[in-house]
Amino acid sequence: MPIARIATFLLVTSFLSTIGNLGVPVSCALDDDLSTLNILSKIRIDRSSTARASTDFGHIVEAVPSGVFHPVSPSDIAALIRLSLFQQTPFTVVPRGKGHSSRGQALAAGGIVVDMCSLARGDHDHRVTVSVNGMYVDVGGEQLWIDVLRATLEHGLTPRVWTDYLRITVGGTLSNAGIGGQVFRHGPQISNVHELDVVTGTGDMITCSPIESSDLFYAALGGLGQFGVITRARIGLQRAPKRVKWVRLAYTDVHSFTADQELLISMGSGFDYVEGQVQLNRTLTEGRRSSSFFSAAELARLTELAVDTGSAAIYYIEGAMYYDDHSAAGVDQKLDALLEELSFVPGFVFVRDVSYVQFLDRVGQEEQKLRSAGVWDVPHPWLNLFVPGSRIHDFAAGVFHGILRDTKPVGLILMYPMNRDKWDDRMTTVTPPGEDVFYTVGLLRSAVNAGDLERLERENEAVLEFCDREEIGCKQYLPHHSSQEGWRRHFGAKWGRIAELKAKYDPRAILSPGQGIFPFPAASSGAAPATIAAS
């Protein structure tokens, strides 16, 4: 045995006793040069590491991995996957950015969780590269969107589409879709990607685009981590504004609210961002008297409006108009002209003037307040739905005026429309079929008191049962289904193609089993996945 190999063997002797539990013969670990030992040395099996990777933002599901892998390059991830495939009984592999899922999608019971943020620590300076001439940014899948924002703004550029919360990873949002108030104009984040680097479930490192390996490109975008690990994305950019007119308009009638929202997303110019919120009556009359946007006096006025009108909810259109030094002189006139076309309650228009960064990072600022109040790290039984535009009033009547009418949720209820023609149906994400306009409705509620989680789960189930019973035609965003049949219904006509791509790019179904889309073969056969145990 070469001297270098002997030295390495002595350094890892205490660790080798764990390899048998992983299913790797010691002779294999030593015979394959030192690559296997190199990979194993990056797996942490201590209780503190596995405990941190055992839950996610939802705090609803717990699944303990056998170890947490800390790669320094995408090739490390490929080597880990190949190591799994070498075993008679492979172990599952799950990439984890900030763990901002709610139902265990980033967890790996008995498998290996890949700490994607380790990639940034290994080569941070080269993981975000801006091309000013090409108007794009190459960014590691582990990078946080807030860091992408800072890097691109140094060149006066910015991505077109943002999620409301920026302290999540690029790979995480692209594995779902990435939605926010700019989607009506530019499509979701996945519609603004030019190229990807993906490590597939076969251990291959593939660069893909609409031209090269296009089937993998479209599968990975919105693919819920089923086909590979996104390690790099090339994202289109545009010139960055400097400031934002941030506007909220109040409505007591859902028909006027949706009519104005759909008018706004049909305009070629106007707001650069359009979202909407639903505030239930009890939230206003019995809720907290503070807000990151509204003053106490404004909240009092809104409460009085709800009481006087007897409305079950107050609806807000949230809009933003971007501007810079060149357009600053005319922005107020442009905003006034736009507001004249809308039917909000007279006098209930609220305007803030903030920087572009302040606007995009508004939820990050709210996060600090919630952490201080101890209501951030609590269960989040979120339910996100895409609702057909033709049925949005039926949905509002049944849910906001029915199931949730007398509730007082802690958290947000979002409701805003999108244009179907901004989405590419070749991607894995599913939207309501046959609709030019559909709405995202996010019940983003938190369980802060004993008994809240059970109650909120019952309400979520009641909403889903209502949608099924009334044939609303909703599709879940950030989906969760308890059976493969549920996933078949979710994907609909796309299911056959998705199954084919899964067989091609992850034939042993080792990637992201927490989604529950494709049962892990070892589990279905009664065998336990290979695990790592402390020696």
Evaluate whether 421 touches 437 at the Cβ level (below 8 Å). no
Look at residues 480, 364, 476 and name the one whose alpha carbon lies nearest to residue 58.
Answer: 480
Which H or E element spans position 160?
Answer: none
CA atoms within 13 A of residue 129's CA, in its CB half-sphere: 10
Four-point Cα dihedral 404, 406, 410, 415, nearest 10: 40
Phi, psi of 388 (to 5 degrees): -55, 135
What's the rounded Cα separation, in Å, for the pair 381 and 166? 20
What's the rounded Cα separation, in Å, for the pair 252 and 306? 7
If you search the block for the tokens 């549920």, which residue do you land on?
Answer: 486
The encoded tokens of residue 233 equal: 């994305």
What's the rounded Cα separation, in Å, for the pair 363 and 448? 19
Which H or E element spans position 437?
Answer: strand 437-445
Q: Count the neighbouring beta carbons within 10 Å of the beta carbon of residue 209.
A: 14
What's the rounded Cα separation, in Å, for the pair 305 and 307? 6
Which 3-state string (H, E, C) describes 348-378? CEEEEEEEHHHHHCHHHHHHHHHHHCCCCCC
Phi, psi of 137 (to 5 degrees): -130, 130
Catalytic residues: 100, 164, 275
DSSP lists the bridge partners of residue 43 as 69
The encoded tokens of residue 317 equal: 């259109």
Q: Burial, 334: exposed, middle or buried (Cβ in 10 Å; 0-12, 13-18, 19+)?
A: middle
The encoded tokens of residue 498 equal: 């998705």
What's the rounded Cα separation, in Å, for the pair 399 and 408? 14
Evaluate whether 193 touches 234 at the Cβ level (below 8 Å). yes
What's the rounded Cα separation, in Å, for the pair 279 and 398? 16
CA-CA-CA-CA torsion sign (24, 29, 35, 39): positive
DSSP 8-state symbol, 530: P
Q: How far is CA 302 from CA 305, 351, 411, in A?
A: 5, 15, 18
- Beta strand ranges found along 45-134 (DSSP E): 67-69, 93-96, 112-115, 128-131
